[in-house]
Chains A and B, each alone.
Chain A
């Protein structure tokens, strides 16, 4: 089944933009859930840490929590839902490989993979 990949790596500047991003993620996720397709959200690691302003952080951590809940709901159907956090210099090919790994029904669900080392020593939301 084709994975639903939702990219949310660009920063957003205000509440309206954060809201739109979260609503769009819901639409994508619901469609995938109904078709029992894996879901991966791709966010920016700095947003999880709150380094690029509140609106971007709200969107990124909102997606992380949404992934956890979707994972709980879809685990019985063996549909994985995960998050990849990237940095400014992360190679898109590496992201694609991780999306593939995280789409495996025998693999993890409700997890986050952080591909940029800047999170080390910092608390995960």
Chain B
């Protein structure tokens, strides 16, 4: 495979696994992150705050520098600021919406002119879009990602496919920070009896990046948690 791929939130966790997976398939990966963890990767690094006014243009310029066609955009960057609805702070709602939804939308709009026939957008939603205690803001933002996916799939067809992936509990730094007893209770509710691995999400992203007949869909990867 050849061409450039943009992956946001690429310094660690699921984003890093996605970047490495796509790199192994031959793509030139432009890794975008707000933190300095990109130095530990072999991606073309772009350290930028995607919620800033010039964030999307900075990424666009990085794609230009590769001299390659952009074949895929993976909107993965995300944050959490969890609390029950009655206790949530205005700033925590705004921050989660701005990063998880606004930044993804603005970056997508900036890069659409570069996405030609056969290209693909993959948005990382979350199983929380189906509802999850203590995550009103996160759930709202990821629900918005689902809507963005569906609307853009209609808007950009037939040239660009747009899909979303909704991971459940995945073994990342973020989920490993959950107290062990609580994490174990979460695992106990997963029919497959374990957390997912970042590489398993990356496999699904790589599959959606390849040419195919799927667009506007949300694929849940959660070990069956949506049933139990």
Contacts and interface: CB of A to CB of B under 8 A. Distances in A.
Interface of A: 15, 18-19, 22-23, 25-27, 29-30, 33-34, 47-66, 68-74, 110, 123, 125
Q: Which 7 pairs from chain A and chain B are nearest by CB?
A: A65-B143, A68-B131, A61-B147, A50-B150, A57-B147, A50-B151, A62-B144
Contacts of B143: 61-66, 68, 125
Contacts of B217: 123
Given A53-B155, A68-B130, A47 B147 contact: yes
Interface residues of B, number: 43
Contacts of A15: 102, 105-106
Interface string B150-162: 1111110000000
Interface of B: 84-86, 88, 90, 93-94, 97-98, 101-102, 105-106, 128-137, 139-155, 216-218
A61 B144 contact: yes
Given A30-B86, A50-B150, A110-B131, A18 B136 contact: no
B133 A73 contact: yes
Contact of A50 (B101, B129, B131, B216): B216
A50 B102 contact: no
Given A57-B147, A63-B143, A69 B132 contact: yes
Given A26-B88, A30-B85, A73-B84, A66 B150 contact: no
Q: Which of B102, B142, B216 has most chain A Cβ within 10 Å?
A: B102
Given A19-B98, A58-B144, A68-B130, A33 B85 contact: yes
A26 B132 contact: no
B136 A66 contact: yes
B218 A26 contact: no
A58 B153 CA distance: 13
B127 to A, nearest CB: 11
Q: Which of B85, B94, B153 has most chain A Cβ within 10 Å?
A: B85
A23 B136 contact: no
Contact of B97 (A23, A34, A125): A23
Contacts of A73: 84-86, 133-134, 136
B151 A53 contact: yes
Contacts of A64: 143
Given A26-B137, A70-B136, A73-B133, A59 B93 contact: no
A58 B101 contact: yes
B148 A54 contact: yes
A54 B155 contact: yes
Contacts of B148: 54, 57-58
A25 B150 CA distance: 22
Contacts of A51: 151, 154
B85 A29 contact: yes
Given A15-B102, A29-B85, A71-B131, A65 B146 contact: yes
Given A49-B150, A50-B147, A58 B105 contact: yes
23 contacts: A15-B102, A22-B93, A23-B94, A26-B88, A26-B136, A50-B216, A51-B154, A54-B147, A58-B144, A59-B144, A59-B147, A62-B97, A63-B140, A66-B136, A66-B143, A68-B143, A69-B133, A69-B139, A72-B131, A72-B133, A73-B136, A74-B85, A123-B217
